[in-house]
Structure 1
Amino acid sequence: MLWLYNFGISLYKLLLQVASLFNSKAKLFLKGRKNLFHTISKRINPSEKHIWFHFASLGEFEQGRPVLENLKEIYPDKKIVITFFSPSGYEIRKDYAGAAGVFYLPLDTKKNAEEFVRLINPEIAIFTKYEFWYHYFSVLHRHNVPLFLISGIFRPNQLFFKWYGGFYRSMLECVNYFFVQNEESVRLLNSINIDNVSLSGDTRFDRVAENAQSPKHLQAIADFCGSSKVFIAGSTWPQDEQLIAMLIAMLIRENQDWKFIIAPHEIGAAHLDEITNLIPGITRYTRLEVINTDSNSRVLLIDNIGMLSSIYQYGDIAYIGGGFGAGIHNTLEAAAFGLPVIFGPKYDKFQEAKDLIRLGAAISISTPTALSAAFAKLQQDNSASAAAWNYVDIKKGSAQQILKYLKDFI
């Protein structure tokens, strides 16, 4: 099975090289890894021990951030190395001040894993949620470097739990301890004789609660919203935006006193133009900020990255994108501000989404009619906001539980 895994990594690299000819993310993926070991050797002293945090992307970084930053506060002299698999994480956090170095993770080959681990000399390694790389895990295990998975989540359909999944289960045997989000994950790991696991919850709750307590004030957003009720659509994709455009058109036609903010997941010029054409009279945030005046428009398009988690403080109802694709984006950032949320049908991989629906703080939709009905229901349901806020509040504390355990390994 190892030869097939190695072949898959090689094939993946080849496909990336082809895709990079017309896909900007693939191009960044390869460019960021060019001469990477030379870059690391100039930034990192291999004779010093480091704490290694790895994240798939930006969402996982925010998820693991409470552990990272609290650990740094407890051990200010410890040096931290951060790696990302995806450009969407690295490109935004490559200048993160809390680390000695932020790098792309080299592709998972035996040679790359050996060289990378030699260069950063990790004292411990912390992976977040669901990144499993055979060669990296094996090298860490051979070098007796403790490896931890935080905010892990497992599902029955994963290869680890199939009768033919022995190769993939061998990766899990390299992990010293699993901190997982739900009881199902505990049961699944126990079913394959993995007992070094505890239910710690999701560290994202700590992060979003912290953000909600001290959000960044955005004067241009506050001026735009004024005293109106505000519907915020965050991390949207084209199919989300089609539905939202219909809702906006209906509400404006009915003269309902709502304003709307759309923060798309992709902010390339072509996509922003598509949204502008889809929704007449929409105003772009950068224009609003430059002219420094209130806009007559009732719809605002966020055309940059990094603001959404603070924008939610100005909202009343949120729509979270991604539910018509691979899966919904971060619902907790909105819920932490007491916003009930709406999202598309693909949410089954997200425990928090299922919990919010059960509590009456979220509604899943798949049609324009369903979106309109969900909006009308949440607009009248005063308890939904309190349920969203309370859910985040009672789920805090995962980071402290993890840190207490990690102290014995640092």
Structure 2
Amino acid sequence: MSFLYSIAIQITGLVLKGLAPFNEKLKKGVFGRHETFSILKENINNTDKTLWFHCASLGEYEQGLPVFKALRTHYKNHKIILSFFSPSGYEIRKNSPIADVVVYLPLDTKQNARTFLDIVNPELTVFIKYDIWPNILNELKQRGLRAILISAVFRKNQSYFKFYGSHLRNALFAFEYIFTQNENSQALLKTINYNNTSVSGDTRFDRVSSQLDLDNNLPFIETFKDNKLCIVAGSTWPEGEAFLTNFINTYQNLDVKFIIAPHNIKDTQIHHLKDNLQCKTVLFSEKENSNLKDAKVFIVNTIGILSKIYNYADIAYVGGALGNTGLHNTLEPAVFGIPIIIGNQYSKFPEAEAMISRGGMFSVSNQNAFNSCLNQLINNEVKRLQAGNKNSQYVKENMGAVIQILNYLRI
């Protein structure tokens, strides 16, 4: 299996290079990985003590951030290396203040694993949730270097638990300890005789809870909202935006404000969304020269402020679960105690299942269901407030993962 895996990685590398000229995201990843070793050599000396944090993408970075911050504070004399596999994580967090060096993770060949660890030689490695790379992890284990996996989630149908998954399965044993999000994941690890585990929960609960301690004031959003009921649609994709525009155009007489923060903020996508709206709409980039109070829709064509914008929401819609892109972060709005609407593709997101079962989140699959759900929440204040309170309570009940991890590390 090791041989077949190595061939697959080599083929993947060739395919990515071949497709890169035709895809901007792939191009960034291929170029970024080409630069990884030179960046590391320029910034790390043989005498440096280091920690290494690895995230697949932006979501895993946000998930690990409270642990990263604690380690950054404790290990003041260490250099911290942060790696991403996906351009969507690297491009947004390449200047992260919690790291001294941010790079793309090189493709998981044996030679790349040796070269990477020859340079970095981390005293502690922290992987978030998944993104298990056997050659790198096995090299860590052979060198006797410490590694932990946090906020891990496993499912029975994954390769680790199949007869053909020995190569991936063995890689898990490079972690000296695995902190799982739930008991099912811990039970699955025990079926392969991995026993150094505990159910710590999801560090994202600690991450989003810390948002309440920050200054979430955005004066321009306050001006736009104008003390009216406000629906915030975060991380939207075209299928969800179609529902939103249809609703807004159909119910123009409702005295309600809408904020839409698309996942894709390319100009063509933003202007297509704006052109489909039959009411006064202002873009974030136009806000300085616009009368925000008179606008009904505010489109956020920038990144980095959505978590603050949720502070102004009375109802939230979170994108990703109407298509195949994956549900985006629903805990960000939940912490502010507001009801949430999502699509119907959420089976891999336990937090969504939990909030739906508790009555704080609502799943829709078509335009009529979306309209009906949103109208009920707009017109029924009691239902709206009760649902929101259930979500904030859910977040509070599930905090504490970070403390367990730091206690294990004796920090």
TM above 0.5, one fold? yes
Q: Secondary structure at the match of 2:125?
A: strand
What displacement does 1:338 show?
A: 0.8
Q: Which of 390, 397, 406 is the equivalent residue of 2:400?
A: 397
| Residues 199-223 of structure 1: CA deviation (Å, up to 9, x unaligned) | 0000001110101231432111111
What displacement does 1:256 show?
A: 1.4
| Residues 267-299 of structure 1: CA deviation (Å, up to 9, x unaligned) | 1122112212222332111101x2264242201
**What's 2:351 paired with?**
352
**What's 2:260 paired with?**
262
**What's 2:325 paired with?**
326
**What's 2:78 paired with?**
78
What displacement does 1:38 show?
A: 1.5
What displacement does 1:54 show?
A: 0.3
Q: Which of 385, 390, 395 is the equivalent residue of 1:387?
A: 390
**What's 1:168 paired with?**
168
2:206 aligned with 1:203: no
**Aligned-partner Cα distance in 1 for 2:73–2:333:** 27
Gaps in structure 1 of 5+ consecutive residues: none
Report the AA paired with residue 337 of structure 1: F
**What's 2:289 paired with?**
291
Alignment of 1:11-410 (within 5 A): 11-252=11-252, 255-280=253-278, 281-288=280-287, 290-291=288-289, 293-323=291-321, 324-379=323-378, 380=380, 381=383, 382-407=385-410
**Aligned-partner Cα distance in 2 for 1:295–1:3:** 63
Q: Secondary structure at the match of 2:33?
A: coil
**Aligned-partner Cα distance in 1 for 2:77–2:42:** 20
**Aligned-partner Cα distance in 2 for 1:277–1:21:** 31
Report the AA paired with residue 44 of structure 1: I
Which is worse superposed, 70-79 or 82-91? 70-79
**Aligned-partner Cα distance in 2 for 1:274–1:181:** 39
**Aligned-partner Cα distance in 2 for 1:266–1:388:** 27
Report the AA paired with residue 330 of structure 2: T
Is the 1:152–1:181 Cα contact (8 Å) retained in structure 2? yes
What displacement does 1:173 show?
A: 1.6
Is the 1:44–1:100 Cα contact (8 Å) retained in structure 2? no
What displacement does 1:167 show?
A: 1.9
**Aligned-partner Cα distance in 2 for 1:220–1:230:** 14
Report the AA paired with residue 360 of structure 2: A
| Residues 5-32 of structure 1: CA deviation (Å, up to 9, x unaligned) | 1222222222222322221111111121
What displacement does 1:42 show?
A: 0.6
Report the AA paired with residue 248 of structure 1: I
**Aligned-partner Cα distance in 2 for 1:46–1:366:** 55
| Residues 209-264 of structure 1: CA deviation (Å, up to 9, x unaligned) | 10123143211111111111111111111111111111212221xx1111101111
**Aligned-partner Cα distance in 2 for 1:215–1:16:** 42
**Aligned-partner Cα distance in 1 for 2:161–2:17:** 33
**What's 2:4 paired with?**
4
Report the AA paired with residue 300 of structure 2: I
For these two proteins, the number of residue pairs brought into alignment is 405
RMSD in angstroms over aligned alpha carbons? Answer: 1.4
**Aligned-partner Cα distance in 1 for 2:71–2:26:** 33
Which is worse superposed, 68-77 or 118-127? 68-77
**Aligned-partner Cα distance in 1 for 2:46–2:33:** 19
The ranges of structure 1 where at least 4 consecutive aligned residues each deviate by more than 4 angstroms after the TM superposition are none
